Amino acid sequence: MTESKNDGSDWIQTWIEQQREQLRRAGMPGAGAASAAGAAGVSDQYRDLGMRWLEAGQAYMQGWQQFAQRSAGGTAAGETPLKFGEEMLNAWQGSWAGAASAGEGATRQFADLISRLPAVGLAREQTEAWRELLAAQSEYQHLEQELRTVWARVQTDALAMLEAAIRERRQSQGDAALGIGDYRELYNLWVECGEKVFAQLAHSESYCKLQAQLGNAAIRLKVRQQAVLERALKQFDLPTRSELNTVHKQMRELRERIATLEAQLAAARGEERS
Amino acid sequence: MNEFSPGSAELAAVTNDFMRRMSQGLAALANAGDVTIGSSAKDAVFTEDKVTLYRYRPSEVVAPENRVRTPLLISYALVNRPYMMDLQTDRSLIRGLLQRGVDVYLIDWGYPDGADRYLALEDYVLRYLPHCVDFVRQASGLDRINLLGVCQGGSMSLCYAALHPQRLRNLITMVTPVDFHTPENLLAKWAKHVDVDALVAASGNVSGDALNALFVSLMPFRLNSQKYVDLLHQLNDPNTSGAALENFLRMEKWIFDSPDQAGEMFRQFLTLFVQQNRLKNGTLQVGGRPVDLQQITMPLLNIYALQDHLVPPSSSKPLGELTGSTDYSTHEFQGGHIGIYVSGTAQRQIPDRIAGWLRERDAER
């Protein structure tokens, strides 16, 4: 077991706060789904590009400011270009931030538009298949994010329960006590609290429903993926799962018929003998 | 845990110590070799499709007069592999039974693949299981044999026993779910809103990996994290033997060695047993034949584990009221769903209880 000095420095509370901070970061709305969501990904790239331009702009403004200071030969004269530079920088930053959000909005609008347009023309069937796939993916991601949020809440509640448990221990052991002897003990207590919180949630109707909804959404997504894939396989004259299923079903039916015929034959032979 | 706020030097120290122990544990783990599974000698005596029936070689140390004359056929669950019954020399229900003079047969259902997606409940209950029973009856020259059903294999055994009571002398059920709608049954609660028809239509067979993830998520903190941290800590302990590590790795192998489930069978089991609770309600049919548990009139021993989180005792206990057996016994085991096979207590209790119960009823012939 890990030993630690019981010198009153509250490393336990520090650990709990660190976990909380990590959860806060992980629990930011959309943080978990950002990489998966196309629109969010685009907007991240856009923002990144903006930041690079901003850095370049800052360097340029600093250079210009230094030049102005040297030219004016004093601080007072330098204030004007500095202020001017700041304003420019703010405007620059603002325009990129606006452009980023506009880009994000445009992407979302475009995706929304595509999803509402009726499929027409030569590629109607393909378009519809892809549109259904995108809708299924969007539904799945939405529910996945919802479940992630619930799990994050389990961890937050587990930390609160852990804190309460430690407080209780301290009270029973005396004011100077830390309540926990070492890291391993803290970890085990955290696991215990986590399981308690999760067990309570896991049995609730709302959680059972949410988990099943996510599972059902995953199934719908898989069905849509299969439809798109099978369409592609057919283009190359490759066998699909659907075709194999038909063959297996036929084999099973034939096998059952043979078994029935064999039983009838055996019964008939028995009758002949008797 | 890479960032430490100012003033958290103590936390950094304990974290470093913790991580050092973890690293040492990992190094010890890297030196562990492969593990072997199974301890008792057996022979494959019958096969059909992917199903194999094994007969374990009788223990030579048991005198003929001490043997249980009626052979015992074990029907394991479709989920996970049956070698759990004979994991290693000192953790083997089968070895324990052999040492007590029981003649043991075991059904290995195999690993279903894509060609087996339409295997249904009737294939298991009206074809494979009866064929194995008939083989053992023929091989032993007895009209009736003993059947032991484990978990889902127990549910199937109950169906078989209700449909063919004349072929069984005694029936034993181990951690067998009967009532799926008890408040403690978390798996059934989770399955309640799942669109099983759509699942099987989309997936065909249901992947063993998906089932593993499901089982682990029942206790996510313990099963995803704590047991591995415990292991790494134990490996730092000079008193921990290499055997303990091997035991752990063997269990890991068993836990995650999960066959895919034949799609149609899975669909039927989840819909009829779990969602609709038909075995308990008396409305189950297999291949068009009604399964009436009142038809189970042979002696019946129901063994369940009090800390079972997969098949809670409340799910197994109702069997006593549903069966038509007038010779109904129970055995409560202090442990969990897995501990009932592999724990030290189980090695002492379970084979004794089963062999003793069978012997008492063997002499009554």
DSSP line for A12-71: HHHHHHHHHHHHHHHTSTTTTTTTT-HHHHHHHHHHHHHHHHHHHHHHHHHHHHHHHHHH
Picking from B14, B117, B201, the nearest residue to A183 by CB comes out as B14
How do residues A88-106 score in pLDDT, each as one tens digit? 556 555 655 566 666 667 7
Q: How many residues does chain B have?
A: 365
Q: Is B324 part of a structural domain of the chain?
A: yes
pLDDT of residue A217: 97
Min distance A99 CA to chain B CA atoms (Å): 34
DSSP states of B299-362: -EEEEEETT-SSS-HHHHTTHHHH---SSEEEEEESS-TTHHHHSHHHHHHHHHHHHHHHHHHH
Counted across chains A and B, CB pairs separated by less than 8 A come out at 109
Task: State mean pLDDT over A198-220.
Answer: 96
Q: What angle do CA B354, B355, B357 make, to 5 degrees?
A: 65
How many structural domains compose chain B? 1
User: β-strand B300-305 against B328-333: which pairing, if any?
Assistant: parallel
User: β-strand B51-56 against B104-108: which pairing, if any?
Assistant: antiparallel
Of the listed B72, B79, B102, B151, which one is catalytic?
A: B151
Residue A14 has pLDDT above 90, yes or no: no
Q: Is B2 part of a structural domain of the chain?
A: no
pLDDT of residue B321: 96
Output phi, psi for A27, to 5 deg. -85, 5
Q: Which residues of B touch A158 (CB under 8 A)?
A: 221
Ramachandran class of B50: left when φ > 0, alpha when ψ lies in -120 to 50, beta otherwise = alpha
Least confident range of A48-57, A125-134, B270-279: A48-57
Min distance B39 CA to chain A CA atoms (Å): 35
B305: β partners: B333
Min distance B186 CA to chain A CA atoms (Å): 6
- Asked if B322 and B295 touch (Cβ cutoff 8 Å), the reply is no
- What residues contact B76, with CB distance under 8 A and at least 6 apart? B82, B84, B85, B106, B107, B108, B109, B150, B151, B153
Q: Is B333 part of a structural domain of the chain?
A: yes
Q: Return the residue in A208, A214, A243, A244 with the most chain B beta carbons within 10 A, the one to mutate for interface testing.
A: A208
The amino acid present at B9, given as its one-letter code, is A
Query: What is the spatial distance between Cα A243 and Cα A235, in angstroms, rounded to a whole number?
Result: 14
- Contact A219/B204, CB-based, under 8 Å? no
Q: Is B261 part of a structural domain of the chain?
A: no
Closest CA to B270 of B203, B224, B360, B328: B203
Query: What is the spatial distance between Cα B294 and Cα B324, in angstroms, rounded to a whole number?
Result: 4
A207 → chain B, closest CA residue: B190
CATH code of the domain in which B326 resides:
3.40.50.1820
B3 → chain A, closest CA residue: A18
B234 or A190, which is more confident? A190
Min distance A67 CA to chain B CA atoms (Å): 40
- Asked if B319 and B269 touch (Cβ cutoff 8 Å), the reply is no
Question: Does ipTM come in above 0.90?
Answer: no
B6 → chain A, closest CA residue: A14
Which domain range does residue B93 map to?
42-184+278-362
pLDDT of residue A31: 40
Q: Which residues of A touch B274 (CB under 8 A)?
A: none
Query: What is the spatial distance between Cα A1 and Cα A186, in angstroms, rounded to a whole number?
Result: 11
pTM reported for the whole predicted model: 0.80
The amino acid present at A168, given as its one-letter code, is E
DSSP states of B12-61: HHHHHHHHHHHHHHHHHHHT--------S-EEEEEEETTEEEEEEPPPTT
Q: Using the structure block, give the residue that is written with the tokens 């006593």.
A: B320
- What residues contact A158, with CB distance under 8 A and at least 6 apart? A190, A193, A194, A196, A197, A198, B221
Least confident range of A5-9, A171-175, B284-288: A5-9
> Is residue B159 annotated as a catalytic residue, yes or no?
no
pLDDT of residue B268: 98
- Asked if B70 and B130 touch (Cβ cutoff 8 Å), the reply is no
Q: What angle do CA B100, B106, B112 make, to 5 degrees?
A: 160
- Contact A212/B118, CB-based, under 8 Å? no
A56 or B287, which is more confident? B287
Q: Which residues of B touch A241 (CB under 8 A)?
A: 204
Query: What is the spatial distance between Cα A6 and Cα A1, in angstroms, rounded to a whole number?
Result: 15
Contact residues, chain B to chain A, C-beta under 8 Å: 1, 3-5, 7-11, 13-15, 17-18, 21, 114-115, 117-118, 183, 186, 189-195, 198-199, 201-204, 218-222, 225-226, 229, 233
User: β-strand B72-75 against B145-150: which pairing, if any?
Assistant: parallel
Residue A233 has pLDDT above 70, yes or no: yes
Contact residues, chain A to chain B, C-beta under 8 Å: 1-5, 7, 9, 11, 14-15, 17-18, 158, 182-184, 187-188, 190-191, 194-195, 198, 202-203, 208-209, 211-213, 215-216, 219-220, 222-223, 226, 241, 244-245, 248-249, 252
Q: Is B92 part of a structural domain of the chain?
A: yes
Q: Is B290 part of a structural domain of the chain?
A: yes
pLDDT of residue B1: 37
CB neighbourhood size of B287 (10 A) = 12
- Contact A18/B3, CB-based, under 8 Å? yes
A16 or B179, which is more confident? B179
- Asked if B345 and B334 touch (Cβ cutoff 8 Å), the reply is yes
pLDDT of residue B21: 78
Residues of chain B scoring pLDDT < 70 = 1-8, 10-11, 240-241, 364-365
Burial of B247 (0-12, 13-18, 19+ CB in 10 A): middle
- Contact B202/A213, CB-based, under 8 Å? no
Q: Which residues of B touch A220 (CB under 8 A)?
A: 198, 202
